Every structure is written in C-alpha cells, then in structure tokens.
Structure 1
Amino acid sequence: MKRFDFRDEIHRLDPEKDCVRIMQILQSHEFPWDMGRALGIALYRTYAVPSIGELLGKTDEFTGNTQKRYDDTALILGNMVQHGFEPGKGRDALRRMNQMHRSYDISNDDYRYVLSTFVVMPVRWLNDYGYGWRRLSDHEISGITHYYRTLGKYMGIKDIPETYEAFEELLNSYEDEHFAYTEGGRRVSDSTLDLMVTFYPKRVSGLARKFSMAILDDSLIEAFRYEKPSKGWRKGADLALKLRAKVVRRMKPREEPLWADNNPNIRSYPDGYQPSRIGTFPASCPVAHDVDPVAHQDLYGPDGDSGPAPEPAEAGPAADGRA
C-alpha cells in the first residue's frame, strides 16, 4: 500500500452518502492520534461555556469519575464511527448517548455548539495549526461535516449548520458570547488535565501538564483563569507537533485500523463492555434504561432495530430540542 492510497479512496467516495466510511478512514487509518487529540480539545472547549461546565461540575461525573467518563465518551463516539448508525453496536452507542443526554435539561443551542466543536477542531488541528502529516482536502472536510450533521439529526438537534463554514462561524460566535469562568467548569478542566498527565510516565508528568497547557489557546486559558503559558512553551509545543507531523508523513500507511477499543488509555473495562451498558444511569432518569428515550419509530423506523436505518428527519425527534 502506498502512502496516499487512503486519501485517493476517500476522493472516490461521495462526501454525503459515504460520510461514515470517510470518517472511518480518517479516524482509524490516516489520523488516529491527531483526531483523538483534536476531539479531546473539542470536548474540553465546552467546559468553558457556563451552562455546560456548571452542569458537568454538578454531576460530579467529570470530577469524581474522570477516567470512566473519558472512557465512556471515547467508546461511545468511537463505536458510532466504527460501526456507523445501522443496527448493532453503532446504534446501541447512539441510543446510549441519547439516553444520557435526555436525563438533563440541555438547550438546543448548547447541543449545536458542541456539535460544531466536533466538526471544526479536527480541521483546525490538521490544517490551520499544521499538525497533520498532510492537509485535509475540501472533499474530506465535507465528509466530516456530513457525518456530524447526520449524527446531530439522530440526536434531535434542530437548525444544524449546513456547511463547514457555517459550523465554524457558529463556534466562533458562541465562544465569543459565552466563554466565561465558572467554578464548575474550572473543576472539570482541572480534573481533565489531571487525567491527561496519567497517560505519560510519572517522571515526565510535570512536563506533560505544561505541554498540555501550551497547546490551549488564549481564550481557554482566560476562561479557566490559568496562568498564561510562556512563549517558550508555546513555541516548543508547536514545533514538537509539527516535527511529529513530518516524521509521520514518512511512515508507512496504517493498514490495520486503530479503533477506540485499542486505546491503552481506556482502562475502565478490562473484561470488555457492551455499548448499551456503559455511561451513566442517573437515579433521577425518567426513562427505563433499556428503552430508547426518544421517539423510537421516528428515529429508527417502524421496524425498530430490525430494519434499515432511515434518513434522519431534519427537525429531529425531540420537539423541545433535547436529545
């Protein structure tokens, strides 16, 4: 296999109809490490939005059970990419995510913002920051956009942006308007950074934390009231990531896919797991945990899980914008 064979395969696919396959190639073959870092930063950004950071802080799930929340998030999102939205593990993961979200009063605007971070941050990491071993093409960016538009529709999100540019405009304007310090958001941020350093040997944990801080943009540093990283650390982290990209470019293509299940940083399920049974089950949850909390027929069709996945409805199943 040649270095650009996967890129060429993507360009033979339709960015809308084949968006799941495009995401599978990008996330498990072309950029597994980069996509993981970019999506991690995407989720991290949401803590700086008060309505999100405070909610996560109050649940104690992202502060008291940080490792498991990291694992659950990675596995749920990873299973949807790996298996798509057809009946099976991918749809089980989608249902599990919708069940958890349904337990809380989350606004449609916050859902739209979180979705925008998933679309925009991988493109920024690989293209704008220059940390990818190659740039994403417009065709690939369109595939990413259509994948998350599809996911958003299955979540019942309304008024989903139609283009990458619209997602980026949403992200920028939402952060400009909403980023602010909250105690809950800061606690979640601290706990997340504490977890990140455990992914490295203890002897370099202090350096790992400084490196993690150095790749956060000023808007996040200010929102969490952290001390601003030095110019030396900023420059060093940037150069290190760009050097890594040059090295990866000269490596052989990854022929065997790397999925979330193979991530050594996921530690909560040494004996395996079922997507339908991971995540949180709040005591106040108003629905039975093995029953889909959204309109089952509207989301999955009259045959339920036994039939093919329908085209997702634009307005989504949740009339009030919650999933």
Structure 2
Amino acid sequence: MSVSQPAGANVAFKQMNFEHPDGPEYARPRGRGQNPAVQKEIESLDPVKDCQRIAYLMVAYEFPQEINHALSMAYFGSGATKAVADILGRSDFRADPVKRFEDTKFLIWKFMESGWDNDQGLRAIQHMNKIHGHYKIRNENFRQALCAFITAPVQWIDNFGWRKLTENERQGWLNFWVRVGELMEIEDIVKSHEESAALLDSYFTGDEELSEYSPEIGETQFQAFVQFAPWYKKPFERYRIRALMTPGLARAYDLKYIPLPGKLPVVFYYKLNAVARRYFSKFAYPYNIDADRGLLTYPEQPPIVEDAGPTYIVNRIKKKAAEATAAQ
C-alpha cells in the first residue's frame, strides 16, 4: 500500500488515506506536461500480474480526463436497456440523480486507483456488491456494464486521447476489469477487447424492447449532467451529450439521433483538447477521487466507502451489519 501526498497538497488532502498499488510517484515536467517516465514504467510491467498498477497509472497519471469522460458516457447509457431502466424507474433514482452519479463514480474510482489488494479498493467492490444485492439484476446486465467499463475508455482514448493506448495498456486494462468482474461474481466474463465490444453492440440492434422509464431516465440524467457542467458550458451540455450518443442510445431515450455533420463541432473540440493535453492538463498529478472538489454532493470532503450509495440501502446495510455484530 502507498499513500500519495503530492508537493503543495493542502492539509485536508494530506489527511486523506490515498491508497494505490506500490510503485514510484511522478511529477509533471515543466509544470503541466506529461511525464514520459509513466508510460515507460507501464511498458515494463506485466499486463496480468501488474494489471492493478497499470490501471492506477492510467487513471491517475496518463488518462484521468479521458477515462472520466468515457465512464460518464457509459453511466449515461445505463438506462438504455429495458431491464436496467425498469429497475431504475422503480427506484428512487429521480430523487437525487446527482448523488447517484457521484456515489457511483466515487466507488468505481476508488477501486480503479486502489486495486483490490488495498483495503479501500476491496471495500469499494464489496460495498458495490452489497448495494447491487438489493436489486434483481440479471447476470446479463452485469456483463453489459462490465463490458462498458472495459470498452468505453479504450474507444474514447483511441478517438480523443492525447496519445494512443499501447498494447500493454490495453491488456492490463482488460485484465484489471476481468478480475473486478470475478470479484463481483459475474459469470461468463469476456476474455478479449473484441468480445467485449461485440457484446455491447449486440445489446443495441435497433429492434430491442425498450423500457417505458427510459425517456424519463434520460431526461433526469441530462439535468444532472447540466448541473455538473461549469457555467460557461451549461448551455451546450445537452448538445454535447447528444452528439456523443450512438443511434441505439438516442433511440432508447426517445431522442432524434444527430448525424455526423451535426457531431463535428463536438468531435473537433475533443480532438483539439487531445492535442492540448500533450502539453497541459488541469487534472491533478496524480489525480485521485478523494481530492476532487468537483463533487457537488461532497464539496468539503469525500465520504467513507460504506457511506456511498442510495441512502436507504446504505442504512439497511449498516443495520444488518450492526445486527450481525450484536448476535456474535
């Protein structure tokens, strides 16, 4: 276990327990640029046994912005399939969509940066399992979500990353998520990027049954994402998201699909951003979720792992744990 405290960190950050797989820490060369030593270390690692370290270096140093964007869009698509949309529609999803998104992001980022060999990462996975246990989620839908986490960041980085992924990174990322899937007790886990992408494509054929809740879920998520956006981006946020949608996702949310010519301003923005990212990045180095003051639900400090999630489910989990302790 390592605890990272970058130079210049404020007192609150220094008090945080930032766990990550063991290895050297890096500083930005010339203040804001990318450090080539990070990629050099990644290429020296084994994509199987060192996949936790590779994933950490990707989310903390090399691609935090890209992976954040990719997983946000993957999250946005969570209500596009009927089974998941029906679960969300019958839950308290609409009550506080911002908190739901930020709790999900917090837990996922916790185990991406910590891995399962560190306490916080393993607790985050276990806590997510307990939350999911309160819903009737089919293995098929878990597989779909897992494939989204595998495929979405790879495709985003290939299209909009400041550099392309190396084969070592691609395999390390895949192996990391395969193991996460095993810890979540998902069956029939994909074994390749090609299989993952094909499985995702199979869910959106254009003739699948849709949920009556999907349009409302889509609108709720639009509203949440507009809240996240800085003031100068708010007027364009809906257009940005719609321009990134696939035809299947637009159909699920009962939206008109934006064809390629209409997408070009957004594509150009991200392509330009990718060039700029080679020399400058606003993200912390290393980025870690505990120090992210952009979480609207937790502006002062992040939650502990076991407090993240729907409040009524978190309370049930705590009550059950207390009863088990009292019975011992």
What is the TM-score with the length of structure 1 in the denominator?
0.82
Secondary structure at the aligned position of 2:44 is classed as coil
Q: Which ranges of 4 or more aligned residues in structure 1 deviate by more than 4 Å?
A: 177-180, 252-255, 281-292
**Partner of residue 109, structure 2:** 78
Evaluate the alpha carbon distance shift between residue 173 and residue 195 of structure 1 in structure 2; reply closer, same or farther with a 3 A threshold.
same
Deviation at 1:87, TM superposition (A): 4.8
**Partner of residue 90, structure 2:** 58
Matched-pair contact (CA < 8 Å) for 2:308–2:314: no
**Partner of residue 315, structure 1:** none
Q: Within 1, Cα distance between the matches of 2:223 and 2:87?
A: 20
**Does residue 4 of structure 1 match 2:33?**
no
Deviation at 1:219, TM superposition (A): 1.8
**Partner of residue 97, structure 1:** 128
Gaps of 5+ in 1: 293-323
Correspondence for 2:213 among 184, 198, 202: 184
**Partner of residue 121, structure 1:** 152
Matched-pair contact (CA < 8 Å) for 2:131–2:314: no
| Higher deviation after alignment, 244-253 or 2-11 | 244-253
Evaluate the alpha carbon distance shift between residue 252 and residue 39 of structure 1 in structure 2; reply closer, same or farther with a 3 A threshold.
closer
> What does 1:1-323 align with in structure 2 at a 5 Å threshold?
1=29, 3-61=35-93, 63-127=94-158, 130-176=159-205, 179-202=208-231, 204-229=233-258, 231-251=260-280, 256-269=285-298, 270-280=300-310, 282=312, 291=321
Matched-pair contact (CA < 8 Å) for 1:198–1:205: yes
Matched-pair contact (CA < 8 Å) for 1:116–1:170: yes
Report the number of matched residues. Answer: 289
What is the TM-score with the length of structure 2 in the denominator?
0.81
Evaluate the alpha carbon distance shift between residue 206 and residue 254 of structure 1 in structure 2; reply closer, same or farther with a 3 A threshold.
closer
Q: Within 1, Cα distance between the matches of 2:319 and 2:204?
A: 34
| Higher deviation after alignment, 140-149 or 223-232 | 223-232
Q: Within 1, Cα distance between the matches of 2:126 and 2:146?
A: 17
Q: Within 2, Cα distance between the matches of 1:233 and 1:10?
A: 38
Matched-pair contact (CA < 8 Å) for 2:85–2:214: yes
- Identical aligned residues as a percent: 25
Q: Within 1, Cα distance between the matches of 2:319 and 2:190?
A: 31
Q: Structure with the greater relative contact order (CA < 8 A, sep ≥ 6): 1 or 2? A: 1
- CA RMSD, Structure 1 to Structure 2 (Å): 2.5
Q: Within 2, Cα distance between the matches of 1:188 and 1:258?
A: 30
**CA distances 1:280-303 after superposition (whole Å, capped 9, x unpaired):** 2546998665649xxxxxxxxxxx
Matched-pair contact (CA < 8 Å) for 1:152–1:160: yes
Q: Which amino acid aligns with 1:70?
A: F
Gaps of 5+ in 2: 1-28, 323-328
